[in-house]
Amino acid sequence: MMSTLHDDFIRHVGQTSPFPNGIEVERAEGCWIYDCAGRCYLDMIAGISVVNVGHCHPRVMEAVRRQAGLYAHTMVYGEHVQAPQVELAREIARVAPEGLDAVYFLTTGAEANDAALKMAVKLTGRRGICAFHNSYHGDTLGALACFGAESYRGPFRSLLPDVTFLSFGSFSDLERIDGTTAAVIVEPVQGEGGIQIPPDGWLAALRARCGETDALLIFDEVQTGFGRAGDWFAARRYHVTPDVITAAKGMGAGYPLAGLIASREMLWRFAAEPPFSHITTFGGNPVSCAAGLASIGVIRDENLLEHANRMGQLLMEKLEQCAGQGPQIRHVRGVGFMIGVELDSAQRARTAVYRCRQMGVLLETTLLNGCVVRFSPPLIITAEQCLEAVDAFARSLT
Ligand code: PLP
């Protein structure tokens, strides 16, 4: 008997867990994913906060086609002058907090966090890193060392030795940042930790403590960036300017792209002496940069930041109304379009996600908090589609 595509997916494609959701994707457009059997799914996840302007936005497709027809790769990162990279860096400097005026292009979020940690150690001459419990920064060795869950770090020791874990949102723990700290790495809103919102004033206090101790403050905006948290960056939303922002996911609008966003002077010191201190073949792939540039244009021209805040608010209100109807929902929280609903058990959350999928609505739990169902749709989603998703979610709980 011929093996099916699904059989060969299990047999020949490396698996990340024993329970992949296994949708056989044929195509995707806007907020919809279509499978090979002709079913369509309302995508409330956006590839985990990646396709912020929706799947196959016509302006992104046009930019990708145009750039793919010109060139894809001409030289390792940093040698040739490539217009899509330069134009994207210029646009990012416009929308990033003041002073963060240059981009060091990379390919993945974990790689960007590793590079930010390297930069902090080199620039400060210190070794200590502070990270937070329940944080997720990616799975390369450096990022993994800062993963705020011992169960994920343990099997891979030894890792970076001088990482101290603080409690996210704790003002008193900020005292543990001191003169030995090279960097503090923090997600301004924790994503995989279950959509955890920082308490009022806490990011500003963190900024102040890093200033007092001359530790670099790294905002991991891999998930929160490019509109997801309702502004270009969460740093802007919370009016706190870190020394470095790491970005990926939404930056390439579906194409692999990441970057360190910092002052030109810092990026220069990072990569120089010796020259080529951090090299990467595929950093800032021109096709990905063209996609990212088009996507910034879409976010701006379609007013998607404002739209995301409005629709996110609507979605939260409707989810809160569901919460009023039964004890299963413990808490609804979010900023922009990064929304989490905490249920009374991980089993309930898994079942809700499964039932919603059966009803044609894609949701996911968060990696480190299985009780939380996340809603992070493309920012272009309509009010009607939000209501459809909430309706399916409410039914999945009965
Ligand atoms: N940082 C955060 C906050 C993330 O959510 C993720 C991925 O989910 C990463 C880093 C890792 O990014 P990547 O998978 O591109 O390495």
**Per-residue model confidence as pLDDT tens digits over 21-34:** 999 999 999 999 99
For residue 63, give the amino acid letter: A
User: Does the CB atom of residue 47 touch ligand 1 within 6 A?
Assistant: no
Q: In sequence order, what are the beta bridge partners of 254?
A: none
User: Does the CB atom of residue 223 touch ligand 1 within 6 A?
Assistant: yes
CA atoms of 369 and 132, how far apart (whole Å)? 15
User: Does the CB atom of residue 114 touch ligand 1 within 6 A?
Assistant: no
What does 130-187 look like in DSSP terms, one character per residue?
EEETT----SSHHHHHT-S-HHHHGGG-S--S-EEEE-TT-SGGGGG--TTEEEEEE-
User: Which atom belonging to ligand 1 lies closest to the Cα atom of 249?
Assistant: 15
Write down the H helix ranges in 14-82: 46-49, 58-70
Q: What is the DSSP letter of 30?
A: B
Which pLDDT value is given to residue 240?
Answer: 98
User: Which atom belonging to ligand 1 lies closest to the Cα atom of 367?
Assistant: 8
User: Does the CB atom of residue 148 touch ligand 1 within 6 A?
Assistant: no
What is the token pair recorded at 63? 């930019």
pTM: 0.98
Which pLDDT value is given to residue 2?
Answer: 79
Protein residue with its CA nearest to atom 13 in ligand 1: 109
CA atoms of 303 and 375, how far apart (whole Å)? 20
What is the token pair recorded at 81? 């002058």
User: Which atom belonging to ligand 1 lies closest to the Cα atom of 258?
Assistant: 15
Q: In the chain, how many H helices and how many E strands?
A: 14, 15
Q: CB of 254 within 8 A of CB of 50? A: yes
Distance 192 CA to ligand 1 centre (A): 9
User: Does the CB atom of residue 252 touch ligand 1 within 6 A?
Assistant: no
Protein residue with its CA nearest to atom 12 in ligand 1: 109
Q: How do residues 102-138 score in pLDDT, each as one tens digit?
A: 999 999 999 999 999 999 999 999 999 999 999 999 9
Question: In 3-state terms, what secondary structure has residue 73?
Answer: coil
Q: Pairing relation of β-strands 338-343 and 361-362?
A: unpaired
Q: How do residues 225-264 score in pLDDT, each as one tens digit?
A: 999 999 999 999 999 999 999 999 999 999 999 999 999 9
Protein residue with its CA nearest to atom 7 in ligand 1: 138
Question: In 3-state terms, what secondary structure has residue 221?
Answer: coil
CA atoms of 168 and 32, how far apart (whole Å)? 35
CA atoms of 120 and 271, how far apart (whole Å)? 12
Tell me the backbone φ, ψ of residue 57, rounded to 5 degrees. -60, 135
Q: What is the DSSP letter of 204?
A: H
User: Does the CB atom of residue 124 touch ligand 1 within 6 A?
Assistant: no
Question: In 3-state terms, what secondary structure has residue 6?
Answer: helix
User: Does the CB atom of residue 202 touch ligand 1 within 6 A?
Assistant: no
CA atoms of 185 and 15, how far apart (whole Å)? 29
Q: Which of 231, 228, 285 is nearest to 256 (CA)?
A: 285
CB neighbours of 110 closer than 8 A, spacing ≥ 6? 137, 138, 139, 140, 142, 143
What are the Cα distances from residue 344, in Å, to 268, 326, 354, 397?
49, 11, 16, 11
Q: How do residues 363-386 score in pLDDT, each as one tens digit?
A: 999 999 999 999 999 999 999 999
Which pLDDT value is given to residue 28?
Answer: 98
Which pLDDT value is given to residue 66?
Answer: 98
CA atoms of 264 and 39, how far apart (whole Å)? 48
The domains of the chain, with CATH numbers, are 5-53+303-396 (3.90.1150.10), 60-301 (3.40.640.10)
Q: Pairing relation of β-strands 329-335 and 338-343?
A: antiparallel
Place of tokens 């309930």: 348
Half-sphere exposure of 254 (CA within 13 A, CB side): 21
User: Does the CB atom of residue 368 touch ligand 1 within 6 A?
Assistant: no
Which pLDDT value is given to residue 282?
Answer: 97
CA atoms of 106 and 168, how far apart (whole Å)? 27
Distance 330 CA to ligand 1 centre (A): 27
